Structure 1
Amino acid sequence: MGLHLIELEEGFSCYASGEFEARFIYQEIFKDNNYEQSGLPEAPFVIDVGANIGLFSLYMKQKYPAARVIAFEPAPENRQALRQNLELHQADGVTVYPYAVGSEACEATFTYYPAMPGNSTLHPEEKALQKRLMSERLGEQAATDLFQATTITVQVDRLSRFLAEHHPEATTVDLLKIDVEGAELEVLRGIDDGDWAKVRNVLLEVDNTEGALAEIEALLREKGFTVASEPVPLMWEEMQLYYVTAHR
């Protein structure tokens, strides 16, 4: 399939392997403002876990040109698109790490979907419902094509390790965004208490078909956040996808 340049609207193009998904994510972030956060400083320090092809990082740089962003993306093709998109939009101040983020350092098998790279995951078993719904509503062949997968071995490490080794100067994390297709709790459990104290805002997307939402909300409240959740718009209700926002 490979990367190709897609014009998402007049004046905004990006490199992507899956046009269908890129258009959906662009609508979600840039047009519907579902990732809008109020109260951030002029030059926020932002962590983008599950950066995919970089649309969220670009959105933050568009809104906050002085922002510093660290972006984690384990899939090589996604990471190539991310770097090309940063260059295309002349977005500096973004550091890209070729890692998945989790609760401990390890190697893991990562399932990559070239037609829907944003759905790529450490937990492919959680995609069964989505694939079934797509088969019912888009047709079996379309679902099969969209979920055609390859597997790769990726490095996983804890977020606190990256902060300690590469960003010891960061005393505040203004926004932690997490979109990791089923590994949200693992990311959160890889944050030390000392680093939790630095985090001001959290935004993540959660699949609640296995009941993860309540556990994530409880963990965030335990860490001192005010938490709110709402269904992800434009998604089938049966998928039980939620945005969780947490603020100090």
Structure 2
Amino acid sequence: MNIKNIPAKIYKKVFRVSELDKVVPAKDQRMLKKLDRYQPATFSFLKKSFTVVDADTFLGSYHEIFIDEIYNFESHTPSPLIIDCGANIGLATIYFKLKYPNAQIIAFEPDPNIYAALSANVRSFGFKDVNCENKAVSDVDAMLDFWLEGGHSGKVVAHTANHTSSQVKAVRLKTILQEHEKIEFLKIDIEGHETALIPDLAEELNRVEFLFLEYHSFMDGEQTLDTILAHLKRAGFRYYIQQAYPKKFPFINREIFYDMDFMCNIFCYRV
């Protein structure tokens, strides 16, 4: 169950607080639960100073990454190259470096406020070989309009979108992949922009051993899951699909949140 955008009062019913006791002191847990949405804070996480921009998305992401371990994979090398697209405040980056201390990581995060937290957290943990980039990944090198949602759902938007946006620098991910012979793990969680991204870099996916892709479907747009899966298949991947936010009555309750009607995690690997 993806809970990264559920209101706090609902979240507290499904989150097992005892699991957080191992990594966040009780006083800091109490502080986090009192915070309003999008209120930044710094506290102790895994005995390191840690900065968040939104407590709700931190709690949901912690559960997803450190408890469910959705990014868990067995590397073929002790020093894998990992590219993290949509790094947010760095929880996935921290998870990867704790699992593979010699990993080389490139972490992309376009929101400048969230990027500041990402950079601070990477410095706090003292990680080496982590390159944080304040950029979006795209199918073009350009300045793009980006909705600064403030938590976990910022995204590239069209000029006509009903969101307050700011321009961010985007880099063509295809070019990044071409610079490396082998990428052990590629994580793409970019809130819908994967529809433009995947067709552009499809020919370079043969360089990737493991791919995690979060697919987002928006109610006012065409669903493109079939196209994306076709590209993944042609790239030689096997895939496993996991629904990210189940709906009990999908014929009735169409919207999940933020104009999305479907989300799923796609785990891609080679045999």
- Report the TM-score range of the alignment, normalised by the length of the smaller protein: 0.7 to 0.9
Aligned residues: 217
Q: 1:13 to 1:28 in 2, by over 3 A?
A: farther
| Offset of residue 13 of structure 1 | 5.4
Q: Which has the higher contact order (CA 8 A, sep 6+)?
A: 1
Q: Where do residues 186-197 of structure 1 align in structure 2 (5 Å cutoff)?
A: 186-191=196-201, 193=203, 195-197=204-206
The amino acid across from 1:182 in the alignment is G
Counterpart in the other structure of 1:134 = none
Say which SS state the counterpart of residue 30 (structure 1) adopts: helix
| Offset of residue 197 of structure 1 | 2.4
RMSD: 2.4
Is 1:200 the counterpart of 2:209? The answer is: yes
**8 Å contact kept, 1:111–1:124:** no
- Identity over aligned pairs, percent: 27
Structure 1 residue runs without a partner (length 5+)? 129-148
| Offset of residue 196 of structure 1 | 2.4
Counterpart in the other structure of 1:120 = 154
Say which SS state the counterpart of residue 93 (structure 2) adopts: helix
The amino acid across from 1:3 in the alignment is P
The amino acid across from 1:185 in the alignment is T
**8 Å contact kept, 1:103–1:158:** yes
**8 Å contact kept, 1:102–1:189:** no
Moved more, 37-46 or 53-62: 37-46
Out of 105, 113, 120, the residue aligned to residue 141 of structure 2 is: 105
| Offset of residue 34 of structure 1 | 1.6
The amino acid across from 2:142 in the alignment is C
**8 Å contact kept, 2:89–2:115:** yes
Q: 1:99 to 1:198 in 2, by over 3 A?
A: same
User: TM-score of the superposition, structure 2-length normalised?
Assistant: 0.73
Q: Where do residues 77-116 of structure 1 align in structure 2 (5 Å cutoff)?
A: 77-114=113-150, 116=151
Moved more, 45-54 or 30-39: 30-39
Deviations 1:88-135 (A, max 9, x none): 111221111221111122221100122x2x10011489x99xxxxxxx
**8 Å contact kept, 1:177–1:204:** yes
Q: Which runs of 4+ in 1 moved over 6 A?
A: none
Counterpart in the other structure of 2:236 = 224
Counterpart in the other structure of 1:132 = none
Counterpart in the other structure of 2:175 = 161
Say which SS state the counterpart of residue 65 (structure 1) adopts: coil
Q: Quick check: which has more Rg, 1 or 2?
A: 2
Counterpart in the other structure of 2:99 = 63
Counterpart in the other structure of 1:184 = 194
The amino acid across from 2:58 in the alignment is A
**8 Å contact kept, 1:58–1:86:** yes
| Offset of residue 66 of structure 1 | 0.3
Is 1:241 the counterpart of 2:263? The answer is: yes
